[in-house]
Amino acid sequence: MSTLQTHVKFWQIARVVVGAAVLVVLAYTYSLGAGTAERNPFNYFGYFTNLTALLTASLLVVAGTFGATRWARHDGIVVARAVSTTCMVIVGVIYNTLVPGTGSAPAWVSVTLHLVLPAFIVLDWIAGPGRRTLPWSRVWWVLPYPIAWAAVVLLRGATDGWVPYGFLLPSRGWVSLVVHVAGLLAALTAVGVLVWWTSRLPQVISEEQPGLTPS
């Protein structure tokens, strides 16, 4: 087995193991909410961390399962990994700098979702196989998912009063909501630019795969 094959196989296994483990953690944490509002899946996955972790873990399993095929290096998969990396960096930075220890989940769950998973995703993006140069014209793709999440959360806050985070409470006024959401989107864009830039870094082990044409 060549060095490249060993490299790809290692990351295939790592992605599947980490992705599956995170899915188990999410299922376990969801089960802890029995008899509470958090047992409602729309509430549980209304948290940006939980929804992003679910999507990221699912992507890891898919990328790991098909990691040795050309399909895993499809433009859409690479962009999805870049968006996932961007969002997980935001999850890690915001939780660990602004709201550490504020969640109700067990401490080890918070560490897994807010520290271990973001760290692995960044490492996977930098060192794992399948990364390709992303065109700058696609950096805006980091925004549709968080915009859709924010729209649903704000709509729920205005209709049934439920929001995942206090700063999204309608009672704080629309100015506060606009400032916080705009700040989140600006941070996502900034991190997205950084992730897009890192797509231009040399791979740990060259796969000799043509990248996307920058524009």
- Whether 213 is in a domain gets the answer no
Q: pLDDT of 25-44, one tens digit each? A: 999 999 887 556 667 899 99
Q: pLDDT of 139-193, one tens digit each? A: 999 999 999 999 999 999 999 889 998 888 888 899 999 999 999 999 999 999 9
- Whether 194 is in a domain gets the answer yes
Q: In whole angstroms, give the CA distance from residue 64 to residue 6.
A: 14
- Whether 97 is in a domain gets the answer yes
- Whether 111 is in a domain gets the answer yes
- Whether 139 is in a domain gets the answer yes
> Domain range spanning residue 88?
3-198
- Whether 104 is in a domain gets the answer yes
The pLDDT-based confidence of 68 (bands split at 50, 70, 90) is low
User: Which residue, 171, 181, 118, 101, is CA-closest to 147?
Assistant: 181
Q: pLDDT of 1-25, one tens digit each? A: 677 778 788 999 999 999 999 999 9
- Whether 211 is in a domain gets the answer no
Give DSSP secondary structure letters for 16-41: HHHHHHHHHHHHHHHHTTTTSGGGSH
Q: pLDDT of 111-138, one tens digit each? A: 999 999 999 999 999 999 888 899 999 9
User: What pTM was estimated for this model as a whole?
Assistant: 0.88
Domain count for the chain: 1
- Residue 29 tokens read as 């944490």
- Whether 212 is in a domain gets the answer no
Q: In whole angstroms, give the CA distance from residue 12 to residue 10.
A: 5
Neighbours of 132 (CB within 10 A): 20
